[in-house]
Amino acid sequence: MNSSVTDRIIPGRFAGKRAMVTGGSRGIGAAVARRLGAEGALVAIAYRSRGHEAEEIASEIATAGGRAFAVQADIGQPGAIDALFAAWDETATRIAGDDRLDILVNNAGIASAAPLSEIYEHAFDRIFAINTKGPAFVSQQAVRRMTQGGRIVTIGSGAAKQPGALNGAYGMSKAALLAMTRSLAVELGQHGITANVVAPGYTRTDMTAHMLAEPRFVERLEQITALRRIGEPEDIAAVVCFLASDDGGWLTGQWIEATGGYKLVP
Ligand code: NDP
């Protein structure tokens, strides 16, 4: 069974909720933004460079009767996160009356493409600025606005535990998100705020397009994955949205592998 995304929409699940998705212009973040918007949330789609794509997703959501807006922020740049939240405050207040935020999806991320033993320091710093420091400081700003409880869902990676040959720095930057998430869970649980990580396996996006263009690689992945297929962004969005929903409220501080059973087949 692999029902279409439209079949899986739960109408009104996020009615009255306000959400921000970083890296919402493409891939996994775009699927999350679309689903949150389709299920009733006001969604801020944060992007780095693909403003056109982010605007298109916002207008798709609006055409279907939802509410969304695009906002630019390179979360690896100093000052960008403050500017992102200044834009949130201004736009959310105009659209919804105040700056409350209920759901944060820390999705923006970049991969590394060099062995750890050779990576340049500036490349290492950039990966950590976007993948690790970014989510920490976006979360810090977000929780100040989570005045009625909240949900923080951060996208990790299987590479945190099993980095391949070229993604040592990436794996390190993602592994740190467990400690970030557990800290946030402990600090904020008393305010009704949960924090969890969703760690996808190989998922069809621009990030993996070069690898998944290789048929033998895809065949091998499918053979060792229990569900015998590659993940789609919508598969990850479904897990993220469950955690972001009221029904996800008893899970906090967890690292959830969303892989379709990757490497379970011997
Ligand atoms: P994509 O490369 O398809 O999209 C990346 C998104 O992140 C884009 O929206 C991009 O914005 C945004 N982004 C990148 N850098 C920045 C930045 N400096 N500031 C703000 N936004 C930024 O990636 P995926 O959808 O594949 O990945 C999403 C998340 O999932 C990442 O954290 C990734 O590490 C993780 N992941 C992905 C897996 C996969 O197989 N695809 C597996 C495991 C984890 P813009 O479009 O504007 O450039």
Task: Indicate if the pLDDT at residue 64 is higher than 60.
Answer: yes
Atom of ligand 1 nearest to the CA of 203: 40
Tell me the CA–centroid distance for residue 25 and ligand 1, in Å: 9
- Decide if 127 is inside a domain: yes
- Decide if 14 is inside a domain: yes
Look up the ipTM and state it: 0.99
- Decide if 5 is inside a domain: no
Q: How far apart are CA 128 and CA 144, in angstroms?
A: 23
Looking at residue 4, what is its pLDDT? Answer: 76
- Decide if 78 is inside a domain: yes
pTM for this model (two decimals): 0.98
Task: Indicate if the pLDDT at residue 228 is higher than 80.
Answer: yes
Poorest-pLDDT segment among 2-16, 70-84, 205-219, 220-234: 2-16
- Mean pLDDT for the stretch of residues 100-105: 99
Task: Indicate if the pLDDT at residue 233 is higher than 80.
Answer: yes
Looking at residue 90, what is its pLDDT? Answer: 98
Looking at residue 129, what is its pLDDT? Answer: 98
- Decide if 53 is inside a domain: yes
Residue nearest to atom 2 of ligand 1 (CA): 207
Tell me the CA–centroid distance for residue 155 and ligand 1, in Å: 9
CATH number for the domain that contains residue 170: 3.40.50.720
Looking at residue 1, what is its pLDDT? Answer: 54
Q: Ligand 1: which residues within 6 Å by Cβ?
A: 22-23, 25-29, 47-50, 73-76, 107-110, 130, 155, 157, 200, 202-203, 205-208
- Decide if 167 is inside a domain: yes
Q: How far apart are CA 121 and CA 204, in angstroms?
A: 29
- Decide if 21 is inside a domain: yes
pLDDT-derived band at 53 (thresholds 50, 70, 90) equals: very high
Percent of the chain with pLDDT over 70: 99
Task: Indicate if the pLDDT at residue 2 is higher than 80.
Answer: no
pLDDT, tens digit, for every residue of 129-155?
Answer: 999 999 999 999 999 999 999 999 999
Please state the domain count of the chain.
Answer: 1
Task: Indicate if the pLDDT at residue 172 is higher than 70.
Answer: yes
What is the rounded average pLDDT for all residues in the chain? 97
Catalytic residues: 170
- Decide if 3 is inside a domain: no
**Sequential DSSP letters for the chain:** ----HHHH--TTTTTT-EEEEETTTSHHHHHHHHHHHHTT-EEEEEESS-HHHHHHHHHHHHHTT-EEEEEE--TTSTTHHHHHHHHHHHHHHHHHSS----EEEE-------S-TTT--HHHHHHHHIIIIIHHHHHHHHHHHT-BTBEEEEEE--GGGTS--TT-HHHHHHHHHHHHHHHHHHHHHGGGTEEEEEEEE-SBSSTTTHHHHT-HHHHHHHHHHBTT-S-B-HHHHHHHHHHHHSGGGTT--S-EEEESSSBT---
The residue segments making up the domain with residue 65 are 10-258
Task: Indicate if the pLDDT at residue 3 is higher than 90.
Answer: no
Residue nearest to atom 44 of ligand 1 (CA): 157
